[in-house]
Structures are given as C-alpha cells and as structure tokens.
Amino acid sequence: LMAIMIILLTTSVGQPIILYIAAMGNIDNSLVEAARVDGATELQVFWKIKWPSLLPTTLYIAIITTINSFQCFALIQLLTSGGPNYSTSTLMYYLYEKAFQLTEYGYANTIGVFLAVMIAIVSFVQFKVLGNDVEY
C-alpha cells in the first residue's frame, strides 16, 4: 500500500503546481505594491493579499484531490489486484470486485451510492471550511 501511495503522491503533484502558478500570475500587482509601500513584510503580503486570492484555487484543488483519492482503481488493478490478502484493496476496488467478479450488482450499486454520498459530504465540508473566505 505504501508503494501505491507514493506513486499516487508523485503523479498528483503536477496539476496543483500548475494551477497555483497560474493563480499567482492572476494576483493584482497593484495590491501587492500598495502593501509594500505601506511597509508590509513578505509574510504579511502573502498572508493578507496572496493567500486570499489563492483560496478559490485551493478549494478546487482540495475537492479534485479528494475525488481523485477515491479513484485509484486502475493503479491497484495493474499492480496488485487488491492483494496480497486484500492489503491494497480500496472502496473502489471492492466495488469492482463485487460487481464484475462476484456479480453482486445490487451490493456494488450500494457501495457506489455510499461512495458518492461520502465524496459529497467531504466536498461539502471543504466548501464550508474554505468557501467562506473565498474572494473572487
């Protein structure tokens, strides 16, 4: 499971980096310059100007990363097929196994609905935690 986590970590870093670089380029430089003229330090500029401007991007990345963390089926299927002794089995792989290997379609459907509800709840919490401070 650790090898799969390392692969997922290294393959999921690129998109957030590109999104953050693009978002940093969209920050209004006049606000940064005005803060520096007023005597703000680099930390204050980042915390008071740049970070609030990056919150919409952070919210998007948090939600996409959460959804992608549940969708690591292909990597597990290719590398381990859920083994040894189900040590790399995830909810997505369990759903696949129930639906297509054991033909328990109703149970697999229940797992899929549970997974969708779980992702929706986690995304809702992320919107509540990060969404209140988002400035567009």
CATH number at residue 64: 1.10.3720.10
Residue 23 lies in a domain: yes
Spatial distance between the Cα atoms of 61 and 102, rounded to a whole number of angstroms: 35
Residue 46 belongs to some domain of the structure: yes
| Average pLDDT of the residues in 80-99 | 84
pLDDT at 135: 58
pTM: 0.75
| DSSP letters spanning 5-23 | HHHHHHHSSHHHHHHHHHH
- Report which DSSP code applies to 3: H
Q: Quick one: pLDDT at residue 78?
A: 82
Residue 136 domain flag? no
Q: Which amino acid belongs to residue 66?
A: T
Q: How many domains does the chain have?
A: 1
- Phi, psi (degrees; rounded to nearest 5) at 134: -75, 130
Residue at 42 is within a domain: yes
Radius of gyration in angstroms for the set of CA atoms belonging to the chain, rounded to a whole number: 20
What residues make up the domain containing 113?
Answer: 2-131
